[in-house]
Chain A
Amino acid sequence: MSDPILEVRNLVKQYPSVTAVDGVSFSVSEGICFGLLGPNGAGKTTTIEIMEGILTSSSGEVRYRGELLGPRFREEAGILFQKTALQDFLTVRQSLTLFRGLYDRGLDVDEVIRLCALEKLATRDNRKLSGGQQQRLLLAIALVNDPAVLFLDEPTTGLDPQARRNFWELIQSIKARNKTIILTTHYMDEAELLCDEIAIMDRGRIIAQGGPRRLLQEHFEEVLLELPRADFPAGARHLALKIIDSSDRVEIATQDLDTTLRCLMDAQVPLRNLRIRPPNLEDLFLELTGKDLRT
């Protein structure tokens, strides 16, 4: 295993009324996509902003290539914040030129424009971009210094499904360039698709960490059967099944799919809308905390 490019040690961020980050430690190997997962308010953004050098921690430290964050880190890090406004009245190309001018080394502006598929938007005022286009421009700005490590804080929040898929493809192409990516998200499909390693956060602490598949294998031996709540009669609740209720559906966790299906058929539960799926990270979060990730 290569040396970690980033190390986070005993990070604490204390505000007057709340401890946003409570003793977080992890390390990130070079060239991987590391995901910080958790619901809103879990401490993901605070953690990533301390890692970016934007916020100071109450205690603990962050090291980049073995050194505390300094000028070298600023030159070699690319950052996409959750929300950023750019300077008014500048075109896409001019915004990129501005940020390229702030770094000693980096990519040619044309190359970044190509990389992020912004060719047709290069002369457009950056205030006249759609949500997805704006996010591509902000990603391009984060890439303009050809960073070794790229921070993406909830990059697809608020995007439509098509724009999200396009953005994922872009991130995968950047990953293929051997960049280290630190990603925060509360979309589990995004994390499963992009991340090599994840840390799940809740109330300022890391509650699970590892590769997504390994974590799921460690915590689940079952598959899940999903039924719409309307199809699941109240009388079926006495069945000896592990039933998980959610707002609009009923989930049944089982290791013996055949027996469970027979049991449901015997109880005359309609199976027309039945869906069988393996557990995902959202289920893992529910398993670990007892609450839904999106609450």
Chain B
Amino acid sequence: MMKRLLAIWHARNLEFLRDRATLIFTLLLPIMVVVGMSFVFGGPERPLFKVGVLTAKIDRQSDPFLRERYVDFVPIATESEGLRKATHQQIDLLVDLRGGARYWVNTDAPKGYIVEKLLLAADPAARRQPVAGAAVRYVDWLFPGILGMNMMFSCLFGVGYVVLRYRKTGFLKRLHATPLTAFEFLTAQVLSRLCLIVFVTGVLYIGIGAVIHFHSVGSLMLVGLLALLGALSMIALGLTIAARVSSEELVGGLLNLLTWPMMLVSGIWFSLEGSPRWVQWVAHVFPLTHLLEGARAVMLDGAGIAQIAPNLLYLGATALIFLAFGAWSFRWRIE
């Protein structure tokens, strides 16, 4: 079995690597995403720190601290508004320079720690008023969504059309005349695509992570395991779609029917908190939702394996179910 599986896996990899146009596009896409992310969230002129000042208008000459470089000072009207922004890390520190200087800093925010040092250097008498809460930047929250979305497209569209092409040209019929089983063929396709997706997602993680200064709070091994199971589940889903169909239009339609709801309700762009219960229920049918839930829990909150076990189990189980169903319903030829 392994010998047959490896033969198909190797041939599919060769085919992919020699298909220059597809290869270049596949490698170029993550680079374009990294460049896009750096354009939106990066840039050398961007100040390193953002400090809220309880004042109507900022006068940078009025206080030595306000003359610090690489700090963006924003006026804040009320203390409550400033505190809310500090807890949500929309600002790194809130300062009231009227009278004896007081400041509020989120002790969970690394930038808050640095900018606090700057303030104390300028005004050692400033009194600290700590605030708690570890809200995350939107870009950090979005990051797993971007990776997941890229994986979803690659998993679903990357295998569905390949299997359909093999069926239409008669290559599958020829393979059927050998001892190869449907399960072996499908497993080889899954593994070939999985290698590619792991590589591309790794490039994206490192590239975008560097641009937006992202560091996973939780274990990277756990993130890798989630990505592996999530990709397996979505590739197997793509193969299930292509298991019987013989028309490009139908495969395209079915894949769109899957990807659009996932784009909208799986939590790529915004949280599902507050959405109707039925929407959340539908969202949790999709593997992408479980992948993103698990990934955010690990990457942003430092969750361990116990907390994301339900997500891991769901992804693993659906991978097996989709693959088994795909093998069972598989057609080698156009009837």
| CB-based contact B179/A84 at 8 Å | no
Chain B interface residue bracket vs A: 20 to 34
| CB-based contact A89/B18 at 8 Å | yes
A98-B7 contact, Cβ under 8 Å, with A84-B171, A87-B171, A90-B15: yes
| CB-based contact B177/A77 at 8 Å | yes
Smallest CB separation, B171 vs chain A (Å): 5
Q: Residue on A with the closest CB to B171?
A: A85
A101-B4 contact, Cβ under 8 Å, with A52-B177, A85-B171: yes
| CB-based contact B15/A54 at 8 Å | no
Of A74, A87, A104, most buried by chain B (CB within 10 Å of CB) is: A87
- Secondary structure dominating the interface of B: helix
| CB-based contact A85/B169 at 8 Å | yes
Smallest CB separation, A143 vs chain B (Å): 13
Q: Residue on B with the closest CB to A94?
A: B14
Q: Which residues of B contact A (CB under 8 A)?
A: 3-4, 6-8, 10-12, 14-15, 18-19, 166, 169-171, 173-180, 332-333
Cα distance A171–B14 when bound, in Å?
Answer: 31
Of B10, B166, B173, B179, most buried by chain A (CB within 10 Å of CB) is: B179
Residues of chain A within 8 A (CB-CB) of B12 are 87
Residues of chain A within 8 A (CB-CB) of B178 are 74, 99, 102-103, 145
Smallest CB separation, B180 vs chain A (Å): 5
| CB-based contact A84/B170 at 8 Å | yes
| CB-based contact A87/B15 at 8 Å | yes
A-B contact pairs, 18 of them (CB 8 A): A53-B177, A54-B177, A71-B179, A81-B174, A84-B171, A87-B12, A87-B15, A87-B166, A94-B11, A94-B14, A98-B8, A98-B10, A100-B7, A101-B7, A101-B8, A102-B4, A104-B179, A141-B174
A83-B4 contact, Cβ under 8 Å, with A54-B176, A74-B179, A103-B178: no
Contact with B along A93-128 (1 / 0, CB 8 A): 010011111111000000000000000000000000
| CB-based contact B176/A89 at 8 Å | no
| CB-based contact A54/B333 at 8 Å | yes
Residues of chain B within 8 A (CB-CB) of A86 are 171, 174
Q: Residue on B with the closest CB to A97?
A: B7
Residues of chain A within 8 A (CB-CB) of B15 are 87-90
Cα distance A57–B166 when bound, in Å?
Answer: 24
Residues of chain B within 8 A (CB-CB) of A75 are 179
Counting CB contacts under 8 A, is A11 at the interface? no
Partner of A89, one of B14, B166, B180: B14
| CB-based contact B3/A101 at 8 Å | yes
Cα distance A197–B6 when bound, in Å?
Answer: 41
